């Protein structure tokens, strides 16, 4: 599984992430009835948690990083998961690098 690095300025609002769960042939998995969760770990403190992602029946999980996670300088690892009561799929990992902003982030 690859780990993608994305860099943002502190206070930014990262765009939505989308990951499609695929079977061994590369086809999008049918995920009817599945739920999806994103787990995260903050490097500076070891704090961890999770938040919900939306998932379509065609296997695409979509989520937006909560603003509080991107509010200050840090490195944060994310991983998207999906499943039902029988199956648990581990998905892509992302590493977010939150750098100092050039000044205060504006309200837009």
Q: Say how many C-beta atoms besides its own lie within 10 A of residue 100's C-beta.
A: 10
Q: Higher-confidence residue: 43 or 106? A: 43
Whose CA is closest to 8, among 107, 94, 92? 94
Expressed as residue numbers, the domain containing 94 is: 3-99
Residue 106 lies in a domain: no
Q: What percent of the chain has pLDDT over 70?
A: 94
Please report, for the domain that includes residue 38, its CATH number: 2.60.40.1220
Residue 62 lies in a domain: yes
Residue 69 lies in a domain: yes
- Count of the separate structural domains present in the chain: 1
Q: What's residue 5's pLDDT?
A: 67
Residue 22 lies in a domain: yes
Nearest-angstrom CA–CA distance, 36 and 59: 10
What predicted TM-score, i.e. pTM, was given to this entire model?
A: 0.84
Q: What's residue 2's pLDDT?
A: 46
Residue 107 lies in a domain: no
Residue 34 lies in a domain: yes
């Amino acid at each position: 599984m690859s780990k993608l690095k994305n860099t943002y300025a502190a206070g930014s609002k990262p765009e939505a992430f989308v990951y499609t769960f695929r079977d061994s042939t590369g086809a999008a998995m049918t995920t009817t009835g599945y739920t999806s969760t994103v787990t995260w770990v903050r490097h500076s403190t070891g704090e961890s948690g999770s938040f919900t992602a939306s998932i379509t029946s065609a296997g695409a999980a979509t989520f937006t990083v909560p603003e509080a996670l991107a509010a200050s300088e840090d490195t944060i690892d994310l991983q998207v998961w999906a499943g039902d009561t029988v199956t648990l799929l581990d998905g892509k990992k992302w590493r977010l690098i939150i750098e100092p902003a050039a000044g205060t982030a504006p309200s837009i």
